[in-house]
C-alpha cells in the first residue's frame, strides 16, 4: 500500500517532468515563429557559413573576419554531425542546432534538480519560459551549462572536472574568466595548494585543447588574435547600460537619439563624450568594479570559506552592468546561475523579490530583442519615434541595476552563506 507522502512525491516528480517537456515544446514552437526566428537565426546562419567554409576547403586556413574562438567553432561541428556529414543544407543545420540546445537546457534542468530542490527547478523552468527561444539560437546556453557544471563539481570536491568545465566555458566565451579568481581564492582559504594546482592545470588544459584542435584543422594564432580584437573593436552597443544612458541623455538635451553605428556584428552609438574618452575606456571599465569587489573578497574571509553562488552571481552582474555590450543572450549568464543559489527562509522576501526582478528583466529583454528590434533600429534610432521600445530597454537595464543592488546587499551580509 502506497502512503500519501510517497504518492505525493511521485506526483510532484511527474508534474515536474511534464512541465519541463511543455516548456521545451513551447520554446521549440516559438523558435519557428517569424516574430522570433527572423532576428534570432542570424547567428546560426553565420555558424553554418563557417562550417561550409571548412568543408569546402577542408581546413580553417584562410578563414577571415571570424569572431568565434576555437572552442565555439568546435561546438558548431555538433550540429553538422547531427544533421548529417554529407549534403548538408541550412534548414537541417538549423534544426540540429535547435535540438542540441534543447538537450542542453534539459541537462541544465537536471543539474539544477540534482544540485538544489524541486523549488529551484521550478524557478529554472520559469526563467527559461520567460527568457524565450533565444536560448535555442545561441551557444551561450552551453557556456552557462558548463559554468553550472563547474559549480556543481567544485562543491563536490571534483576539482579536475570542475576546472576543465570552467576552462572550456572560458574557451568558448571569455566572460567565465572573471569567476576563476574566486574559485582560486576559495581553495586558497582552505589551504589546499595541491588542489589549486589541479584545478588550475585542468582549467588551462581546457583552454589549450580547442586551440590545439583548431591548429590541427588548419587554423593559426593570427586568426585567434583577430577574433579577440574583433570584440575589442565593437562600439558601445545600444543595448548596454552606458548605451541606453547616453541615448537617454541625448533625448533629454537634443530631443533625438544619438548617431547609430553598424559594424562588428552589433548596432552601437557614438557621442562627443564617447569620442573624447575613447573606446578603450569602455573596453576596460568593468575591471574597476570587479577589481574592487575582489579586494573586498580578499579581506572578507567569511565569503571564502566555501563556494558561494551569490558571489558568482554578483560578479557576472558587475561585469555586465559596466560592460559596453549587453546583448539579449548575455542576460542568461546570470539567470542561469540564480537557481544554484540556495533558498533560505530568512531571506524569503528578498529571494522572491529577486525572482520578480528576473522575470520582468526577461520579459522586457524579449520585447526589445527580437520582437520589436526592427522598430527599435529603424523607427527609434533612425526616425526618432516609437520611443516605447527604448523605454522597455531602459527599464530592463535599470531593473538589472536594481538586481545588482539587491544582490550586493545579499552577498555582503554576514548571514549569507551557501
How many angstroms separate the CA atoms of 343 and 22, rounded? 25
| 416 pLDDT more than 50 | no
Neighbours of 110 (CB within 10 A): 12
Mean pLDDT over 273-298 rounds to 93
Which pLDDT value is given to residue 121?
Answer: 94
Contact 195, 159 (CB under 8 A): yes
Which pLDDT value is given to residue 2?
Answer: 40
Contact 284, 242 (CB under 8 A): no
- Alpha-carbon torsion angle 19, 21, 27, 30, nearest 10: -100
Contact 101, 142 (CB under 8 A): yes
Q: Is the pTM of this model over 0.85?
A: yes
Nearest-10 crossing angle of helices 42-57, 70-83: 90
Q: What percentage of the chain has pLDDT greater than the value 70?
A: 95
Burial of 150 (0-12, 13-18, 19+ CB in 10 A): buried
Q: pLDDT tens, 23-54?
A: 999 999 999 999 999 999 999 999 999 999 99
Q: pLDDT tens, 96-106?
A: 999 999 999 99
Cβ contacts of residue 40 below 8 Å, gap of 6+? 31, 133, 134, 136, 137, 370
| 194 pLDDT more than 80 | yes
Q: What percentage of the chain has pLDDT greater than the value 90?
A: 78
Which pLDDT value is given to residue 346?
Answer: 66
Q: Where are the domains of the chain?
A: 19-232, 235-418
How many angstroms separate the CA atoms of 353 and 347, rounded? 10
Give the C-alpha distances (Å, rounded to integers) separating 295 from 38, 130, 185: 44, 35, 11
| 363 pLDDT more than 70 | yes
Cell of 405: 543592488
Contact 363, 130 (CB under 8 A): yes
Q: Look up cell 537536471; give the residue.
A: 110
Residue 62: left (phi > 0), alpha (psi -120 to 50), or beta? left
Mean pLDDT over 216-243 rounds to 94
Neighbours of 51 (CB within 10 A): 18
How many angstroms separate the CA atoms of 126 and 365, rounded? 15
Q: Look up cell 531593473; give the residue.
A: 399
pLDDT band (50, 70, 90) for residue 410 = confident
Amino acid at each position: 500500500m502506497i502512503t500519501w507522502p510517497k504518492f505525493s512525491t511521485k506526483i510532484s516528480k511527474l508534474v515536474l517532468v511534464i512541465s519541463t517537456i511543455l516548456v521545451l515544446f513551447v520554446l521549440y514552437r516559438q523558435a519557428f515563429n517569424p516574430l522570433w526566428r527572423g532576428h534570432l537565426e542570424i547567428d546560426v546562419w553565420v555558424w553554418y557559413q563557417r562550417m561550409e567554409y571548412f568543408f569546402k576547403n577542408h581546413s580553417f586556413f584562410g578563414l577571415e573576419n571570424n569572431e568565434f574562438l576555437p572552442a565555439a567553432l568546435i561546438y558548431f561541428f555538433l550540429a553538422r554531425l547531427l544533421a548529417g556529414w554529407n549534403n548538408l543544407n541550412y534548414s537541417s543545420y538549423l534544426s540540429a542546432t535547435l535540438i542540441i540546445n534543447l538537450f542542453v537546457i534539459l541537462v541544465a534542468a537536471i543539474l539544477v534538480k540534482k544540485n538544489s530542490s524541486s523549488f529551484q527547478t521550478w524557478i529554472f523552468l520559469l526563467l527559461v519560459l520567460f527568457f524565450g527561444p533565444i536560448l535555442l539560437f545561441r551557444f551561450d546556453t552551453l557556456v552557462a551549462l558548463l559554468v553550472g557544471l563547474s559549480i556543481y563539481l567544485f562543491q563536490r570536491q571534483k576539482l579536475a572536472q570542475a576546472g576543465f568545465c570552467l576552462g572550456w566555458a572560458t574557451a568558448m566565451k571569455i566572460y567565465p574568466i572573471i569567476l576563476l579568481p574566486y574559485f582560486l581564492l576559495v581553495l586558497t582559504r582552505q589551504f589546499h595548494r595541491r588542489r589549486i594546482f589541479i584545478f588550475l592545470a585542468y582549467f588551462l588544459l581546457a583552454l589549450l585543447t580547442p586551440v590545439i584542435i583548431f591548429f590541427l584543422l588548419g587554423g593559426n594564432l593570427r586568426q585567434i588574435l583577430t577574433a579577440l580584437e574583433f570584440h575589442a573593436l565593437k562600439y558601445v552597443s545600444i543595448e548596454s547600460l552606458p548605451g541606453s544612458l547616453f541615448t537617454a541623455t541625448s533625448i533629454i538635451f537634443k530631443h533625438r537619439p544619438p548617431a547609430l553605428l553598424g559594424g562588428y556584428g552589433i548596432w552601437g552609438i557614438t557621442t562627443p563624450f564617447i569620442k573624447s574618452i575613447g573606446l578603450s575606456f569602455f573596453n576596460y571599465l568593468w575591471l574597476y568594479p570587479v577589481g574592487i569587489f575582489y579586494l573586498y573578497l580578499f579581506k572578507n574571509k567569511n565569503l571564502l570559506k566555501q563556494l558561494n553562488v551569490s558571489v558568482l552571481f554578483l560578479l557576472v552582474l558587475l561585469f555586465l552592468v559596466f560592460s559596453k555590450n549587453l546583448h539579449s543572450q548575455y542576460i542568461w549568464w546570470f539567470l542561469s546561475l540564480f537557481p544554484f543559489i540556495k533558498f533560505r527562509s530568512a531571506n524569503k522576501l528578498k529571494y522572491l523579490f529577486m525572482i520578480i526582478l528576473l522575470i520582468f528583466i526577461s520579459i522586457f529583454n524579449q520585447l526589445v530583442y527580437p520582437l520589436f528590434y526592427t522598430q527599435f533600429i529603424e523607427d527609434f534610432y533612425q526616425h526618432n519615434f516609437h520611443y516605447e521600445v527604448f523605454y522597455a530597454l531602459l527599464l530592463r537595464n535599470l531593473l538589472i541595476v536594481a538586481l545588482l543592488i539587491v544582490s550586493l546587499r545579499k552577498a555582503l551580509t554576514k548571514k549569507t552563506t551557501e
